[in-house]
Amino acid sequence: MLRNVSRLRKALIQWTIPRHDLCPSPADRVFQSVSIPPVQKAVVRLCHSEKRKDYSLPNSSWSQEMMEHFNKLTEMTKDGTWQRLSSYRNTLEHTPEGLIKQYNLKKDEGTRLFLRNIDEEGKGFEYAMFLNKQEKKLAGVFQFGPYLEGPPGFAHGGSIATVLDTTLGILAMSIAFRVMTANLSINYKSPIPLGSAVMGTSKVDRIEGRKVFVSGVLQSADRKILHAEATGLFIQLPKAPGDDGPSPL
């Protein structure tokens, strides 16, 4: 495992916590306030830049259930303890400009972030995640589209594993800046119907040196059904020379 981490580091694969701005610069963005009926006058600001679109904002494919829980999570951000995490089409769009220039990284137009690799909204993963960095917790709402089918009418187990790895891994990245998954253990409890909204939560259990231990669950939106639970071990990558990124461990 350590050899693999070293190879990844040499290959300059940099994992960073998502940036939370919606657009790259005022010159590249046009904002429009959009009301979201019928959810109690909730308003979000959408970015229509072709270069940088935030996919964690509502779209027409989101179910009423998805919208309701998105708005409940958004309410949690008002006092500053929680923040919504932006989500973009390409991994480098989550990478600070300083690291991109330092390592001469270039975006490959033929690649896409795995969870955002479908052009048509609602066909794959739809999700929004919220972080409480002080308490080392993450909460998100997820919707499984028809292209994620396993058993007829239900989400594939691999798509559930992807959501759990993301729910646990994004939290680990927010704490340790750049990490790789070393182990992910999942217990499947109840199948997830396609099109349904589920709640995902995770928390950091402990930190031992460069090891970050995280656990999480996927539940029905009303929290009455436990769909899956997971534990994960994430390893913080060593800092490269000249890397000024945070290293809290």
**Three-state SS at 96:** coil
Q: Which residue bears the tokens 């991109």? A: 100
Burial of 19 (C-beta count, 10 Å sphere; 0-12/13-18/19+)? middle
b/e 178-217 (16+ beta carbons within 10 angstroms → b):
bbbeeebebeeeebbebbbbbbbbbbbeebeeebbbbbbb
State whether the Cα torsion 20-74-155-213 is positive or negative: positive
The three-state secondary structure class of 26 is helix
Active-site annotation, residues? 165
